[in-house]
Structure 1
């Protein structure tokens, strides 16, 4: 990308249709995590495939999600969509996620795909592995395409795991490290739906560990995560 391309203002998104505006206005607002049990909470476990890892410039290409409800993965509630990106030029990331030009050309319009996803999410909190990246990329996509501000809770399984299982003694562990630690097997990796599924399986194991440690509500889990991060940060100085 040359300097002139970098400085060129982004094209404005097309106005939403009246039907899209209606759907946008009916999206559920998220309030806060509650004191009910982890088992009672509906969780949406999400994974994104993107054009790259630059959180300012790269785009969401694919969204995969599964639901944890009543203490189990609900296979009747799954989401997977590839987003149409008309100006997308394949980069090195295609070697990882495999989303080539034909798959992107056959994708759904971003506005429709993102509305579909947020309707799927409803008012549920989200889980992801390395959640800050997914949260930022999804939030930016929603803002750019819908003018929508993402406010849902986004809990990071990559932090929940070492908080609850310090005996693993991992440094900067990835999803493969934790699935191996717990003996999980991923049929496919670096595919949004497959990664969301294995993250959900990992989350269920971690919820069981949380309950044994008297962390049995979404609000309590969020509180403990915040305390754990602050301790970790203070020890790094």
Structure 2
């Protein structure tokens, strides 16, 4: 139950925001249904830096994979209002200027909009642990909301499903070049989410050929692969 006097660690939520938060979908369990029948939200965040304890989310970009394809009618892009945010070296990469942050969306509203967009869908990201932790901290700070949605990491799915491919450091750019994808813009949240979704669809096709045609089967294979990579299995 949401109490009207409850405050977040950031700015207190309005009654309307509390009501919206209360209507957010519960976190889903990974499904056994075929990948082509699964709705997935592919996420990319631009942040003020790479310190997951200190830096903040500056913008959110996301696209949807549904019915085995990218649904161009379902896209999300939002720059957050971060007045007075110190501009560090990351601005040279993502290009978000102080003026963009001054006129951005109020963080609680942007995050409520994003989680309503996500609904009960699992999330995909490239280097998902970073995005998961940054999003989780932003939601806790601005909404007092605990993120429980499952994430799958495209940066791990790619080498697991393509073990013979050598892509240098295995960055998003490396995999995009390997699959000969046309990348119009990089280090922009929506554009990076789109490239990640294109790579994910290629990987899902390979997963089906390898007998892994559901999120649960992919998650099980990932866990085994991670243990092997850590040297837990010989």
State TM-score, norm by structure 1. 0.93
2 CA distance for matches of 1:235 and 1:29?
34
Deviations 1:90-141, CA, capped at 9 Å, x for gaps? 1111000000111111100000000000000000000000000000000000
SS at match of 2:46: strand
Aligned partner of 1:172 among 169, 173, 187: 169
Q: Mark the runs of 5 or more structure 2 residues left unpaired by the alignment.
A: 1-7
Q: Mark the runs of 5 or more structure 1 residues left unpaired by the alignment.
A: 1-10
Q: How big is the shift at 1:169?
A: 2.8
2 CA distance for matches of 1:171 and 1:91?
27
SS at match of 1:234: coil
SS at match of 2:45: strand
Q: Which residue of 2 aligns with 1:18?
A: 15
Q: Which residue of 2 aligns with 1:58?
A: 55
Residue 28 of structure 2 contacts residue 121 of structure 2 at CA under 8 Å; is this kept in 1? Answer: no
1:192–1:236 Cα change, 3 Å: farther
Residue 162 of structure 1 contacts residue 170 of structure 1 at CA under 8 Å; is this kept in 2? Answer: no
Q: How big is the shift at 1:31?
A: 2.9
RMSD, aligned α-carbons: 1.4
Q: How big is the shift at 1:172?
A: 3.4
Q: Runs of 4 or more off by more than 6 Å in structure 1?
A: none
Q: How big is the shift at 1:12?
A: 4.1
Deviations 1:125-161, CA, capped at 9 Å, x for gaps? 0000000000000000000000101000110000000
Aligned partner of 2:69 among 68, 72, 83: 72
SS at match of 2:61: strand
Residue 168 of structure 2 contacts residue 174 of structure 2 at CA under 8 Å; is this kept in 1? Answer: no
Residue 9 of structure 2 contacts residue 144 of structure 2 at CA under 8 Å; is this kept in 1? Answer: no
2 CA distance for matches of 1:85 and 1:34?
37
SS at match of 1:39: helix
1 CA distance for matches of 2:228 and 2:158?
16
- Between stretches 25-34 and 205-214, larger displacement belongs to 25-34
The reply on whether 1:104 has 2:104 as its aligned counterpart is: no
The reply on whether 1:132 has 2:129 as its aligned counterpart is: yes
1 CA distance for matches of 2:9 and 2:126?
31
